[in-house]
Structure 1
Amino acid sequence: MTTACPTGHNTTADLIEDAAQRYAAKTFIHDSGRNLSFETVFMQVQHLANALVARDFGSGDRAAIWAPNCAEWIIAALAIQYVGGTLVTVNTRYKAGEARDIIADSGSSVAFVVDEFLGSNYAQELENENIVGLEHIVALPAPNSLNETTYHRWIHEGERAPDTLCAQRDTQRLATGPNTVSDILFTSGTTGRAKGVVTTHGQNIHAFDVFSDILGLDETDHYLIINPFFHSFGYKAGWLAALLRGATVYPMAVFDVPAVLKAISTHRISVMPGPPTLFQSILMHPDRDAFDISSLKKATTGAATIPTQLIVAMRETLGIDTVITAYGLSETCGLVTMCRRGDAPDIIAKTSGRAIPEVEVGIMRHDGTLAPPDETGEIVVRGFNVMQCYFNNEQATSETIDKHGWLHTGDIGSLDCAGNIRITDRLKDMFISGGFNCYPAEIENQLLNHDEVAQAAVVGMPDERMGEVSAAFVVRTPKSQLLEADLIDWSRQNMANYKVPRRIIFTETLPLNASGKVLKTELRAML
């Protein structure tokens, strides 16, 4: 089935070409003091696309990006997709070993990797992993760096490409359509092994055309993107939505409240999505009144539950006219439901709104029947936004999408009579730390790589600033004298910061049920 966007744009190539004509010299990306117009971005996308084609990168080939939010991330993504390639996103919090798994599993032949970031040389660390099938590592400039990198050399090379190469690029671009795979976003799951979610150009553009309409995004907006581009919140609800509407984006590489307040004041930011913790941090910041943030008028956020008072404070204290909560997951292009402008604060805080047009949301009982309003069950979704499949994983796909086309989210919730969804629980064991989804099985598997860890069970532990953080119950190997501080330090070196346990509880045994599964309810009670 062909999935076309209602606006008539079928691919991101269509979007950037149209925007270059429609908005021309208007700034699309403001990054590190640079203003890149829509037409400049389009030219650089074509140049980088030439460099890819020159290396036999073609339709269906995959290229990964492992870098913080920056202009080069957007240009690389659009260039990959311009010639029919598939974008693979990699979490910037990952260590090199974690990034290696994603890049290897995806079969990426090219990786765009930041040169230096947060004290590490990402490009060099990835080079040291010697990933089979990865032919090119393209170093992207570090934030605020003026150093020339491989990325610049590829751009310059593509600018001088012969006509024959440009013709080949255009042939591949014209062969790209709404059903061409645009990206694979890897999502960790309860099994502990990340699965690649496959979606197409048409699906994503359709979904975020709707998102932009509901939010009221337009070409006058200045959009501060704090959410990371490797996630659908920063990529699809971020710069892709801005490209659809001609808005100017301001990527932020590292979250910092004073920097956010300064950016809003300096650049007259009007749109800023983010997790509830972002807005709570702004409201609590002692220097907030020193900045003029009156330009901020549109915001989206989301979580299982949000205090109603936070929504009221966002409107009344921060002066944000449009505050919308939403619900989505990678398997649905990142979008399922949204509140609407004008909804009451209690609806916005206690629910995640109603299904977007052409999407069905239901609550399914254990017997496979759909539940009536106000009955709790598993949230299921059906519509154009449902992923194509999990990459190279037919079994997981069939377990997630049933024969009737319902995608089983694993989230628990209920619908009210108006169709507003109330999420009562996330995945059974998943918890959210500072806006990042934490999957205990994934952290447990990583802890088991330590020579002195025999068993591990991870649960979420309440934290005032982050919402929840990781707590690990660990059974040591015989004769081990492993200390809490040593295991936490090892974790910092081997896993993303948001996964690192803040507390280690050593125990002789883990509580198990009759079938041998760890009783995490007991572990939570012990905390």
Structure 2
Amino acid sequence: MTQPSYTRGRQDRPLLTQTIGQAFDATVARLGEQEALVARHQRLRYSWRQLAEQVESCARALMALGIETGDRVGIWAPNCAQWCILQVATAKVGAILVNVNPAYRVGELEYVLRQSGCSWLVCADAFKHSDYHAMAQALVPELATAAPGQISSAALPALRGVVSLANDPPAGFLPWEALATWGMSVSREACTARQNSLHFDQPVNIQYTSGTTGAPKGATLSHYNILNNGFMVGASLGLTAHDRMVIPVPLYHCFGMVMGNLGCITHGTTMIYPGDGFDAELALRAVAEERGTILYGVPTMFIAMLDHPARQRMDLSSLRSGIMAGATCPIEVMRRVIDQMHMAQVQIAYGMTETSPVSLQTGPDDDLELRVTTVGRTQPQLESKIIDPQGATVARGETGELCTRGYSVMLGYWDNPEATASAIDAAGWMHSGDLAVMDEAGYVRIVGRNKDMIIRGGENIYPREIEEFFYTHPAVADAQVIGIPCSRYGEDIVAWVKLHPGHQATAEELQAWCKSRIAHYKVPRHIRFVDEFPMTVTGKVQKFRMREISVAELGRVE
């Protein structure tokens, strides 16, 4: 008789029953003088003891700013040492860190800060083409005349202040360097007492996922959720205090802050940031010069590193393992990573923000075929099942929707009980929206998505959000957005646009309009102007036909 598509991960690896602050303190006590964090682009290096001093100073400053348990604190910055320091400091004082995508523009920033009710925002001065100071000033003009912590914003009534990572920010911003002075007004004992008042089931992080209904939803995660997920991912990699992890993936994603930072903190592994954003040469150089043993990335990043002319001059022999996640890995890429980057034990991980993120993972001994055709087996202390549209578990080998249950499932979407109820059923199963098949050995293969989500270079993009954005353009009557295969990013975005009668617009004009208003990775690479969309007889848009037509016209884009 065929088994049902249900598996339970191994149970012999106990879950951690600590807060993030407690786990961090335990590692500091064990490894004090060993190197903890290297931010190469900032020329900063901290031992665990030195990092703990920075974290405590920041935590005391947060308390001095009036931040209470449960208050939300936003971080809007690329990868940097302060990101890690703030992540641990907010956890120690019971604040909820709100990850703001560094690519967000003013409208997206306003939505996230208002929806989460952020009381403070910590921001960089600029990154790539984004001027964070200018956008914050445009959104909160009251900044210019407000004393630190005394903003009264019409747009963001909960916001009290903005901290800048710059040394000399404009008026109204509190410089990061000034936090140390603020923190001196709060005793070490008071900070310790605050940390001791916390428990591991409390929320500690909100991460916004692109919304199927046009607005992002804030996945709310607890200490228990993300600390254990980082620990379990690291355990599968065999992380130890002798490992040095190179982290070129963004910290605002679970990939960076959970699988990276928390995976390292729970195992005492050194965290290495090659740069503020991904750069293939900087990542390779970090591995070679820091003797990195673990390397993270999405397939796009590994392709860029493999193809970079500097790779052959770099000594990557220290590498042994890492994780490739965010999109399907082509078999030739996996072979090259193993052969040319010395990553014999590289693993594949699958998950979603709502599950902290990893729920399935290949193992270090899985053969090449399993690592390129599946996303592995159910992680320890979790359950997986694959169901049909009626909710019944399908037989092994049959296709259905993948669901996850266990410690990693989020607390819910912030202030959105309806969306939470539609994602997590009454039995506690998180519905992924991904179509999958489970084999007899419990390995899962992702075969499609019953949601229209596009995964571009590791970024989850929901077409509905972009479509509703297009409706705000005066010339656009309707828009439908799809993903098509792309050799560089896994998928790329195509928008089919119908204009209002009498209106004109070019693809270049619409793309330029998008670039100034939404994150760069959401901007459609291709725009096709149409008078009608392929429709069913009942009037539903046939996106599969749109994909077929777009692929026939464009082919597999580079």
Superposed CA deviations along residues 25-73 of structure 1, whole A, max 9, x for unmatched, are 2221111211112112212222111221122211111111110011001
Structure 2: how far apart are the matches of 1:366 and 1:17? 46
Alignment of 1:119-268 (within 5 A): 119-130=129-140, 131-141=156-166, 150-158=175-183, 160-163=184-187, 166-251=188-273, 252-268=275-291
Q: Which has the higher contact order (CA 8 A, sep 6+)?
A: 2
The answer for the alignment partner of 1:86 in structure 2 is 96
8 A contact 1:323–1:341 mirrored in 2: yes
Could you tell me which of 79, 99, 107 is aligned with 1:97? 107
**Post-superposition shift, 1:499?**
1.0
Structure 2: how far apart are the matches of 1:458 and 1:521? 11
8 A contact 2:63–2:186 mirrored in 1: no
Structure 1: how far apart are the matches of 2:129 and 2:537? 47
**Post-superposition shift, 1:514?**
4.2
8 A contact 1:222–1:271 mirrored in 2: yes
Q: Does 1:26 align with 2:34?
A: yes
The answer for the alignment partner of 1:474 in structure 2 is 497
Structure 1: how far apart are the matches of 2:218 and 2:537? 33
Could you list the runs of 5+ residues in structure 2 that have no partner in the other structure?
A: 1-12, 141-155, 168-172, 551-558
Name the stretch that deviates more: 42-51 or 379-388.
Answer: 42-51
Structure 2: how far apart are the matches of 1:93 and 1:430? 19
Structure 2: how far apart are the matches of 1:55 and 1:516? 55
Structure 1: how far apart are the matches of 2:394 and 2:186? 61
Name the stretch that deviates more: 430-439 or 352-361.
Answer: 430-439
**Post-superposition shift, 1:428?**
2.9
Could you tell me which of 273, 285, 290 is aligned with 2:296? 273
8 A contact 2:231–2:262 mirrored in 1: no
% same residue: 32
**Post-superposition shift, 1:303?**
5.0
Q: Does 1:331 align with 2:354?
A: yes
Residue 127 of structure 2 aligns to a residue in which SS?
coil
Whichever residue aligns with residue 29 of structure 1, its letter is L
Residue 128 of structure 1 aligns to a residue in which SS?
helix
Could you tell me which of 370, 373, 392 is aligned with 2:415? 392
Superposed CA deviations along residues 433-465 of structure 1, whole A, max 9, x for unmatched, are 122122111111222221211111111133332
Residue 295 of structure 2 aligns to a residue in which SS?
coil
The answer for the alignment partner of 1:53 in structure 2 is 63
Whichever residue aligns with residue 448 of structure 1, its letter is Y
Structure 2: how far apart are the matches of 1:273 and 1:259? 13
Structure 2: how far apart are the matches of 1:103 and 1:232? 19
**Post-superposition shift, 1:317?**
2.2
**Post-superposition shift, 1:390?**
1.1
Structure 1: how far apart are the matches of 2:62 and 2:34? 27
The answer for the alignment partner of 1:351 in structure 2 is 374
Could you tell me which of 430, 433, 452 is aligned with 2:475? 452
Name the stretch that deviates more: 180-189 or 514-523.
Answer: 514-523
Residue 322 of structure 1 aligns to a residue in which SS?
coil
User: Are the structure 2 counterparts of residues 439 and 108 from structure 1 closer, same or farther at C-alpha, using a change threshold of 3 Å?
Assistant: same
Residue 220 of structure 2 aligns to a residue in which SS?
strand
Structure 1: how far apart are the matches of 2:106 and 2:341? 39
Residue 363 of structure 2 aligns to a residue in which SS?
coil
**Post-superposition shift, 1:111?**
0.8
**Post-superposition shift, 1:427?**
4.6
Whichever residue aligns with residue 478 of structure 1, its letter is P
Structure 1: how far apart are the matches of 2:459 and 2:230? 21
Structure 2: how far apart are the matches of 1:444 and 1:479? 21
User: Are the structure 2 counterparts of residues 91 and 515 from structure 1 closer, same or farther at C-alpha, using a change threshold of 3 Å?
Assistant: farther
8 A contact 1:454–1:476 mirrored in 2: yes
Q: Does 1:299 align with 2:322?
A: yes
8 A contact 2:254–2:353 mirrored in 1: yes
8 A contact 2:60–2:186 mirrored in 1: no
The answer for the alignment partner of 1:511 in structure 2 is 534
The answer for the alignment partner of 1:526 in structure 2 is 549
8 A contact 2:354–2:409 mirrored in 1: yes
Q: Does 1:437 align with 2:460?
A: yes
The answer for the alignment partner of 1:14 in structure 2 is 22
The answer for the alignment partner of 2:10 in structure 1 is none
Structure 2: how far apart are the matches of 1:456 and 1:106? 29
Structure 2: how far apart are the matches of 1:180 and 1:436? 27
The answer for the alignment partner of 2:429 in structure 1 is 406
Could you tell me which of 468, 486, 500 is aligned with 1:463? 486
The answer for the alignment partner of 2:145 in structure 1 is none
Structure 2: how far apart are the matches of 1:505 and 1:479? 18
**Post-superposition shift, 1:162?**
4.6
8 A contact 1:6–1:206 mirrored in 2: no
8 A contact 2:326–2:459 mirrored in 1: no
Superposed CA deviations along residues 448-493 of structure 1, whole A, max 9, x for unmatched, are 2212111111111333322221111111122212111111111111
The answer for the alignment partner of 1:74 in structure 2 is 84
**Post-superposition shift, 1:431?**
1.7
Could you list the runs of 5+ residues in structure 1 that have no partner in the other structure?
A: 143-147
Whichever residue aligns with residue 449 of structure 1, its letter is T
8 A contact 1:183–1:198 mirrored in 2: yes
Name the stretch that deviates more: 236-245 or 169-178.
Answer: 169-178
Structure 2: how far apart are the matches of 1:307 and 1:8? 35
The answer for the alignment partner of 1:315 in structure 2 is 338
The answer for the alignment partner of 2:521 in structure 1 is 498
Structure 2: how far apart are the matches of 1:499 and 1:7? 37
Q: How many residues align?
A: 515
Whichever residue aligns with residue 37 of structure 2, its letter is I
Superposed CA deviations along residues 272-307 of structure 1, whole A, max 9, x for unmatched, are 111112222222223321111111211111355322
User: Are the structure 2 counterparts of residues 321 and 449 from structure 1 closer, same or farther at C-alpha, using a change threshold of 3 Å?
Assistant: same
**Post-superposition shift, 1:98?**
1.0
User: Are the structure 2 counterparts of residues 369 and 491 from structure 1 closer, same or farther at C-alpha, using a change threshold of 3 Å?
Assistant: same
8 A contact 1:270–1:296 mirrored in 2: yes
Residue 336 of structure 1 aligns to a residue in which SS?
strand
Name the stretch that deviates more: 343-352 or 418-427.
Answer: 418-427
8 A contact 1:304–1:426 mirrored in 2: no
Structure 2: how far apart are the matches of 1:19 and 1:329? 27
Whichever residue aligns with residue 407 of structure 2, its letter is F
The answer for the alignment partner of 1:145 in structure 2 is none
